[in-house]
Amino acid sequence: MSAVHGLVGDVGGTNARFALAYVGPHGVRVEDPVGFKAADYPTGDAALKAYLGQLPKGAGRPRFAVMAAAGPINDGAVTFTNNTAWTFSETALAKAGGFEGVRLINDFTAQALAIEHLKPADLRRLGPAGSPPDRGTTAILGPGTGFGVAARVDDGESRATLTSEGGHMGLATEDDLDIEVIRRLTALYGRVSVERVLSGPGLHNLYTALAEIRGEAAPITAPDQITKAALAGEPLPELALSRFCGFLGGTAGNFALAYGARKGVYVAGGIAPEILDFLGQSPFRDRFESKGRMSDYVKAIPTFVVTQAHAALIGAASLLPALEARA
């Protein structure tokens, strides 16, 4: 098989990344990744053209493109949940980039596709020792600007990717403080989804709710500054981040049950890799395993953090050969 050359993208509510990708006998290779802030471009097409415009003049023009987008894909188009100014469609992307073929997929579909291409150095294990089964279902989820969820199924004969909007399911609670947090956020939003707490904006929601419960000021407004203060040991931010990790573990365990993900649960997104040591010492794994009569079932399931920053691009690139074959 000769190498397939194409363009890949990972577009979320805050940032967009584009890269060139090559898929050949030795696997997937991603080169020249460049990030763009969504706020700096009026449309996604404008950001794509900016990337193509800065490629070296001698570089071969990519004929195909696979774009991973943070939102539900309907009839080859996406409207971003957390970036209402942008829309993408396969037809418009083909025109904007001069591509012969374009595939638009959910960003966590791309994360799920990437799992089988990741190396040990791309992961940090948080769960029990031992090897997961060779066959079965893997779940992948994680917080960033929003919260994505998908799964990869391998029954030994074929493979399939399950894409969901699980980040918009209701958030489950486990103790009185959880319930009080949700009560206060319900007063603000009417309904509290997973994403209302497990995301960058969600961490701020959690921090302010805890401050109100404790009768304290909540002066920090940026989620990354809450994380920074928590890692420095400031009490309220540290409590907020610890609760965040607990909610994340409980939610990951719920999806392990929902998908039957005995092959493993992988946490991706922009937040978890930045708090690896904190996450490992947090209630994450305890809450993951706290599943009543099904606790023994989930205790055997390994959990990993994806530390490969370009995992979604790798997953998107894995679809380039199929796209070329259809052209």
Among 31-35, 207-211, 236-240, which stretch is predicted with the lowest mean pLDDT? 31-35
Question: Per-residue confidence at 26, pLDDT binned at 50, 70, 90?
Answer: confident
Average pLDDT value for residue range 54-79: 86
Position 1 pLDDT exceeds 50: no
Position 105 pLDDT exceeds 80: yes
pLDDT at 59: 65
Position 84 pLDDT exceeds 80: no
pLDDT at 81: 67
Among 68-82, 184-198, 284-298, which stretch is predicted with the lowest mean pLDDT? 68-82
122-307 shares the fold of 4-114+310-326 = no
Position 85 pLDDT exceeds 80: no
Query: Cα 306 from chain centroid?
Result: 9
Annotation: CATH topology of 4-114+310-326:
Nucleotidyltransferase; domain 5 (3.30.420)
- Please give the Cα distance from 175 to 173 (Å, whole number): 6
Maximum average pLDDT range among 49-63, 65-79, 236-250 = 236-250
pLDDT at 2: 56
State phi, psi for 187 to the nearest 5 degrees: -65, -30
- pTM listed for this prediction: 0.93
**243-253: buried (b, 16+ CB within 10 Å) or exposed (e) per residue?**
bbbbbbbbbbb
Question: Tokens representing 59?
Answer: 């570089």
Mean pLDDT of the chain: 93
Residue 326 makes CB contacts below 8 A (sequence gap 6+) with: 101
DSSP characters over 6-70: EEEEEE-SSEEEEEEEEEETTEEEEEEEEEEEGGG-SSHHHHHHHHHHTS-TTSPPPSEEEEEES
Average pLDDT value for residue range 103-109: 95
Position 219 pLDDT exceeds 50: yes
The reply to whether CATH 3.90.180.10 applies to domain 122-307 is no
All structural domains of the chain with their residue ranges: 4-114+310-326, 122-307
Maximum average pLDDT range among 68-82, 119-133, 180-194 = 180-194
Residue 316 makes CB contacts below 8 A (sequence gap 6+) with: 8, 9, 10, 21, 66, 67, 68, 105, 110, 113
pLDDT at 58: 64
Average pLDDT value for residue range 50-70: 86
pLDDT at 5: 87
Dihedral through CA 24, CA 28, CA 34, CA 39, nearest 10?
A: 120
